[in-house]
Structure 1
Amino acid sequence: MNNTYLTTEELSSRIKYDPRTIRQNLKDSVLIEGKHYIRPFGGRKILYIWETIEEDMLNATHTSSLEIPMANGGVCYG
């Protein structure tokens, strides 16, 4: 599997969000560890998986406003 791994700053330039916003607001609420980002070798460094993030951004435009994404990848219809 060929994935593109990005630092917070590189992701920031691609999605046009401030790196601080990614770290404080998106990480662990929208971007889930193991799905959207990894910590290689158990370290502090975070690498974001571009293909997964891009796919989820594109799919988010097709979801209903009543769908709530769950951490395990499921959807709650509320």
Structure 2
Amino acid sequence: MSLLKPRRDKLLEKHLRRGAVGEITGLSRSAIYDKMSRNEFPRPVRIGRQAVAWPESAISEWLASLQSSDQA
């Protein structure tokens, strides 16, 4: 049963649509997808047939990595 816990936690996690991701990061739609193509930004997960969203933790980790690289 403990094997299911990480997946269950991910399902309960808040997910952000592209507009919210843009507001939080300050990136435009094209900048988000450009960075994704260069593996510099987390990829979204599918939440419906034609909808994707980013786990809030992935965006938080990405923002934290920017802060730590600025301090280096």
After TM superposition, the score normalised by the length of structure 1 is 0.55
Q: Which has the larger radius of gyration?
A: 2
Q: Which has the higher contact order (CA 8 A, sep 6+)?
A: 2
More strand as a share of residues: 1
More helix by percentage: 2
The TM-score, its normalising length taken from structure 2, stands at 0.59
**Change in 2 beyond 3 A, CA 1:21/1:60:** closer
Rounded to whole Å, the distance in 1 between the matches of 2:15 and 2:32 is 15
Structure 2 unaligned spans of 5+: 1-8
Query: Percent sequence identity over matched residues?
Result: 9
RMSD: 2.4
